[in-house]
A and B are shown apart, each in its own frame.
Chain A
Amino acid sequence: MSVPSGMPATTTPTATPAPPPASVSQLSRQRVRSAWLFLLPTLVVLGMVAGWPLLRTFWFAFTNANLSNPEPPQFIGLENFATVWDDPDWWQSVRNTFFFTGISVTLETVLGMMIALTLNTRFRGRGVLRAAVLVPWAIPTVVSARMWGWMFHDVYGVINAMFLHLGFIDAPIAWTADPRLSMAAVIAVDVWKTTPFMTLLLLAALQMLPDELYEAAKLDGAGPIRVFFKVTLPLIRGPMLVAIIFRVLDAMRVFDLFYVLTTNSSESMSMAVYARQQMFEFQELGLGAAAASMLFAVIAMFTVVYLVLGRSAVEEAA
């Protein structure tokens, strides 16, 4: 740990004289009060921005709200949830979304870690590479999804042209037409697009590690792989878990990639695409809200399980 200036190097928590007990409780009470003060602005803003829209959605889920009907919506209980629950298309979209999330987040984490470690070493041209890595993240999704759709095109797409040229395939492939292949295509684009997000967060975590750790490990004669698993990984676990949570939440809610790249048939829908179709294409605001609420429930359940397994993200490791 590098020692901040103005702080005697010998200072350790035990060496400081303990303040009298009365003032400790007073101090901690004061600290808690200031904590709430510090939180207030964030909670007010979030309450305003998220409170109303989310409550509206929850309410619509229990009504027969319909866009083509100007009358005020009627309460119909759990009917919408039952309808969605009985719809095989919904379960197909749940399967698609889970499959997509599992594969793409895993790939993004592994790739992101590799790239972050690469960028964390010193070599010439590192800055340029760092900027290059961020490019996919910087192109608006709406555009990059279309662009990839163009590149995946079976007759004049550049990907088929390259693969044919290199001899990987002997006939052009319709990447986005077949439900199985289009899933692979969507995952490839998602990995390309969001690996930078992972990379950047992991890199920031790596950058905050003190150099002495590595020097110590080097003195022990540990190889790079051992250093990574024994020293680096445990230390960046917190930020990594948070990065993964946000990636999973994003992947579960994936919309535009599926919407632009796949055929949008019921075989290749994500949950968010399903919700959109119910809401706006079929005007069934209530059904769409119910689907969205169920999507929320699925994600919430996943998050709770995940956090219980990786507690350290919320509760400091004792």
Chain B
Amino acid sequence: MRKALRWLGRAAFGLLVVVITAYTLFPFYWAVVSSLKQGSALFEVEAWPRNPAWQNYALVFTEQPFGRNLFNSVIVASTVVIISLFLAVTAAFALGRIRFFGRTPLMLMILAVSMFPQIAVLSGMFELVRWLGLYNTLPALTLSYLLFTLPFTVWVLTTFMRELPKELEEAAVMDGASPWVICMHVFLPLLKPALVTTGLLAFIAAWNEFLFALTFTLSQEARTVPVAIALMSGASQYELPWGLIMAASVIVTVPLIVLVLIFQRRIVSGLTAGAVKG
């Protein structure tokens, strides 16, 4: 009886895993299928295209400077992640580990920044970018993306900072460690899963951002991937080259999947203690 129950539980668990995978992956599979179609084949529903149009993948790179766009996206997203994580770790240490007057209002102010719809800050941001002389450059995007990655990373890291045991810090203070050393050498290694996770989320947010990227760049060489994809068009104003768009989307998604596979061990590395130098 008990064996049967356990077996049933296992089967249910297996089924759950299968359903989750199907729900999350089916649209991506459909994107792959669509990316292998051209012309009228797009309007037919079939599980696998009869004559796959692999040339779509080549066309993506020959029709526009897509390689360059990919490179731009990598640069922008990486710099955004590095800057946000560095700033957020220091800020989170102060907000999470030190009690001082005005801490809560400050937290709320940082959060308030992400309460404005993007469309509302667009005009002001556009003026700022032009005034700094950054229009149509990658730094314009890096700078404007901090608007939504920074509050998020600060908040998340602050909550994780709070979870860390007090004893560690006290021991370090006894050893005469400065706040900087505590933050960078005692806590940072412990925060790895949180850092990798927030970093990854910030990376993807910057990687996929569309509105600012569209507004602050003008030439094809300065554009990032989402804009390049959105601006692909067919022979006329109304025609959308679905095959190409889907091929480009698949190309864009693959590096992120690889990134996740590389970092996924880190995400789940668990608590690795042993950071205090005796």
Contact = CB atoms under 8 A, between A and B. Distances in A.
- Indicate yes or no for A touching B, C-beta below 8 A: yes
Interface of A: 1-7, 11-13, 16, 31-32, 34-36, 38-39, 41-42, 45-46, 49-50, 52-57, 60, 114-115, 118, 123, 127, 129-144, 146-148, 150-151, 156-158, 161, 192, 195-197, 200-201, 203-205, 207-208, 210-211, 238-239, 242-243, 245-246, 249, 252-253, 255-256, 271-272, 275-276, 279-280, 285, 288-289, 292-293, 295-296, 299-300, 303-304, 307, 313-316
For chain A, what secondary structure do more than half of its interface residues adopt (helix, strand, loop), or is it mixed?
helix
B113 A16 contact: no
Interface in B20-47: 20-21, 23-25, 27-28, 30-31, 34, 43-45
Interface string B108-139: 10111111111111111101100000000000
A238 B91 CA distance: 18
Given A39-B95, A42-B91, A314-B104, A156 B119 contact: no
B147 interface: yes
Contacts of A253: 115-118
Nearest to A6: B278
Interface in B44-99: 44-45, 83, 87-88, 90-91, 93-95, 98
B276 A4 contact: yes
Given A6-B278, A57-B121, A204 B30 contact: no
A275 B120 contact: yes
5 contacts: A39-B90, A136-B28, A148-B27, A200-B201, A210-B271
Interface band, chain B? 35 or more
Name which of B107, B115, B117 has the most chain A CB atoms within 10 A of its CB.
Answer: B117
A127 to B, nearest CB: 5
A255 to B, nearest CB: 6
A137 B104 CA distance: 31
Question: 7 nearest interchain CB pairs?
Answer: A53-B124, A6-B278, A292-B120, A56-B124, A138-B256, A35-B94, A38-B94
Given A138-B256, A203-B267, A276-B119, 18 more contacts: A4-B168, A35-B95, A38-B91, A52-B127, A53-B121, A54-B113, A56-B123, A57-B121, A136-B27, A138-B257, A139-B249, A141-B210, A147-B34, A150-B242, A208-B193, A238-B162, A295-B120, A316-B162
B150 interface: yes
Contact of B226 (A36, A142, A271, A307): A142
A12 B104 CA distance: 29
B253 interface: yes
Contact of A156 (B44, B253, B274): B44
